[in-house]
Structure 1
């Protein structure tokens, strides 16, 4: 069985007092004796008359002992004195010699301790600041490498998609022109066929006339002389057709390049990487249990609702013809389209007067979108069709979505593309002519991105932002379809509805459970509750921003509120 001292030696994890036979914690240090001491031995040590001038400090504040070094002139002596004038270390025997008489001296141990502290400080800077900061900067650079690679790959994908879109447009235009040549050919051939029929009829006529002349020529002279002279019809006149002439288009490589997008490096000053200043380096604090509990309580608190001071309510009106305003779309003329969960879709003017009403199969989804030409595009879930309403209110079929049910739609302000959220959980991009050019369904790990993307919009950087009811999240992918982030609200539950973006790239989304409109930055960071019950908002559902950055919010009670100067 181990003894008590054996146990202490085996379990020792602190510095032991240097006084003989004392095993207590040596938390103090005598700079003159160069040994650690416990508190009891320190008191005894200071009470001795011989030690009354000894410098006793906390162990971590100790002076480091001068390493033993032999004098070059007196090999049996250790150096411990420093001659200022000669700038050289000396032993006691050198100090007493005539050569250094009258010189000024310093305690070599003091100089060593100062130098040690200085180098220790520099070493500490390396370990606590310079090295970690440099490693963080290196990691930051590695992340930038990945980001640049992703951005460039995204640009390449966008360029290919743009080129493919241009090719499709060229094929479409060429196909239409070729169809026109067949129409022209048909018309010319019909004209020639008519001329051919005319001469066939005339030839038959001449045959009949030839038979009559032969009959008369074979009769007696008396009968021939008594007959009237037959008159022949003249040959019908016709015109040769004027064949079409093909005029080749005038274009070159530069013309094609101008049609396509280009990649430029913005003329902006590069942002310098942040380097943590030395004075900001500190040892991590150790919190007490009470402080840790207070910190936990703060983290469990919901964020305080706040209204951006730049949002001012300018008007509010009830939309006629709908029971609620589940989705709103403002067009360029300031008119507003609004829809309810019964499929009623109405157009109103700035005063809320009803201009047009359509019955659709839409529900509580973002199933319509204003276009740049002051028209509207909307979905029909039952027919799996997308319709276009022209500015003069004519309705035409635009896209058939096949086996997929379109529930949300957005017309891009960047390039006119049409983004459609499908109930069976994907997002499809069509060009303005209705040709399918992209499908977004899974992330890089093969996981499904969506469950029910019932509202959709596009940000100024090309990001596709969807409000997904079943995932209880805002799901954002870049233009190439790569997942960027998902936002799940500020509480335990998040019920997202209408979503839009403003001219600064902010994302605004209605939240149904807590009667709020969330304001996010371009990267999904929560900025504030820009609207809440405190501002009279009740069950916000639809949201959009017009060309002047005015904010429209539709509510469950068919009211639409307009806010000015959103920044």
Structure 2
């Protein structure tokens, strides 16, 4: 043990090694007695920092110099961004470089480390914990969810079995009825022949009696009836029925059983958390003073055009007043067309995040998904008719629908084929939406997850939050319009703007997310009806009467 560092001895000054220490120089990392402090400070080549020994900071562990074994790196080279010893700084390879006080540099580095540690402890690690918790929750719910799917499959199988049993029993009943009729016909035929045979036996007996009697009177009066019986009784011929089983079409049987989309497992790029100092908001895109049309698409519909939905920046799906839905590019070229399953006019269309087309059939009360040109019914309603549809950021479907008795309207959220939310009344129990079944109620989800509905009959845009609580109603803006507000379609953009087509005033209203009017888009529009916005915030407007789609830059 060092004689001056023994626990039984007083700790002495590092300079004189005879007097107990009282102070400490944080720059040089040495302990000093009162007398040696003055001598130490006489070296003016350094900015010494002498403090009472008990108030000294933790002693930094200076690394040894790799080039000078007897030296420690107590200086910081700014150019090379590393600690160096005094010899290297004055005479070695770091000679002439800018240097700084290593303790000051250490203080700044320490502050940065503390900030990093705080962010890791209070924000980043917690997000990782949250992600693990969410995955564990999903794993916990997996058994239940897949159990429900299996139960649904069993129930659907039982339904089909019951239907098949009903059909089999109907066929058996028909067969039994045919058998009875067949037997009745044969019995009747037998009775007729037996009756004739009885008559024949009587005639033959009479003839034998006449022949034995030699009675001239009976013989002379005899009248032959043989010609009557030479025509045999009618024979009943019944064609035995046959059962002609149809070849089972497995594809149709699969479709009857129900559509099960393939499991989609996507590994998304992890979200990048912004630093604590950064503000979480999308890039600001100001509104243009003069929006401009950048492309016009002639859809080829002869009469009306009602819906447009973006597949990409240069391809859009359209829906008119017939059973055909068309995919066109900006040059008006028809890329593909699909007819509805039952030949009904689709009520609305939307494109999912996977690029598949969805359409509603209000006559057949279904919502249908088109994947690889195959139409699958994903939602079948009872007592309600689906109207308009949109796809959310979470790839759910939001559907507006009206009851069969035309007295109620609601918005329903579906995850796949499962209903997860229904929105119909405000906090006072009053209907949020009008219930006219013949007019559109287009729907869109905003970036802040608000649900926006353009209620044509109510002449209002009705916006509720993600939980279904009413946020506001927009009923138009008095400036620059001649007719009262008549909203058709509605859409939103990356800035959380709400855009709605004003059919009677031939313009688009732009609102902020709180329902405040910002401005109009005119661009010589004629009866704008359908709307959508692509990923670059280009607006596509379907003009009802011209059957054209205009692409408009407004940001």
Please tell me the TM-score bracket, short chain as reference: 0.3 to 0.5
Please, what TM-score do these two structures have when normalized by structure 2? 0.47
Please, what TM-score do these two structures have when normalized by structure 1? 0.46
